[in-house]
Homo-oligomer: A and B are copies of this chain.
Amino acid sequence: MSAKPVAYFGDTTLATAASYLAGVMTHAGIEFVYVPSNHCAKAVTVATERRLFVISDYPAANFPRALQRRVVSQVRRGAGLLMIGGWESFHGSDGHWADTPLGDILPVVISKSDDRVNCDQPALVVTASDHPIVEGLPWDDRTPTVGGINRFKPRARGRVLLEAMMFKAWRAGEDMVFALQSKVPMLVVGEHGRGRTAALATDVAPHWVGGLVDWGSRRVTAQAPRGEMIEVGQHYATFLTRLVEWTGSLNER
């Protein structure tokens, strides 16, 4: 039996926030090992050869630097590294990934102070470049919302695939006025050695996932082993599947 291709760290527990990405990966037939946010990363998890490491709402403090360096070395040899946003991702309130071995190989520069942007008004996700992760999805025709992001800066060699357009909205009589305030990076991809790297600014679980979790008119139900049942929009499931598959080069070896 070969090792599971994906190691997924964070999003609290499988019974809570992690039920989303874990459910989608299960639905797509992608096998993974899972480490809850409050468990320390262990040598066995990162010594095993993986195709993709996913870090999502997992504090850097729980990932010993020596083990992070082993992941970096796997990425150099061809594994993927994906960081997904949240209050315990990038800097966040408790992520603290700036100046860490893993933070240093992401395609974005992580802030050294609280980088959270909570959106009480519309934030919409549009495409910035064509790419296999985003193509064929109705970003620009049925633009999905998100509820928040970690603010980061693309590195010189990072490629911005998605951006968030942040609006102010107010009422004017029977109408609503929408005024664009800013446009910020949402998904940036890059590489490190032979491996692919990706940074997604929003969370893939509530509450920051916003309307993205319900994106599309068809519903998909899924459930990871030991996870909660989820019911999501079909475009959300497709997007997450492609993000994981591309970053881990899962369909290419």
Q: Which of B143, B207, B231 is A121 in contact with, Cβ under 8 Å?
A: B143
A47-55, A77-85, A168-176, A190-198: which lies at the interface:
A168-176
A252 near B: Cβ within 8 Å?
no
Q: A145-B145, A148-B214 are in contact. Are A176 and B170 (CB under 8 A)?
A: no
Instruction: Indicate if A161 sits at the interface (CB-CB under 8 A).
Output: no
The prevalent SS among residues of A at the interface is: mixed
List B contacts of A207 (CB < 8 A). Answer: 206-207, 209-210, 213
Report the copy number of this chain in the oligomer. Answer: 2
Are A120 and B212 touching (Cβ within 8 A)? yes
A122 B145 Cβ-Cβ under 8 A: yes
- Of B121, B144, B175, B178, the contact of A120 (CB 8 Å cutoff): B144
Return the chain B residue nearest A231 by Cβ.
Answer: B93
Whether B120 pairs with A211 at a CB distance below 8 angstroms is yes
- CB < 8 Å neighbour of A143 from B170, B210, B216: B170
B122 touching A122, Cβ below 8 Å: yes
Is A118 interfacial (CB 8 A cutoff)? yes
Task: Give bound CA distance, A216 to B118, whole Å.
Answer: 10
A169-B147 contact given A206-B206, A207-B206, CB 8 Å threshold = no
Query: Is A162 an interface position by the 8 A CB rule?
Result: no
Q: Which A residues have a C-beta under 8 Å from some C-beta of B?
A: 16, 93, 118-122, 124, 126, 139-145, 147-148, 165, 167-171, 175-176, 178, 180, 206-207, 209-216, 231, 233
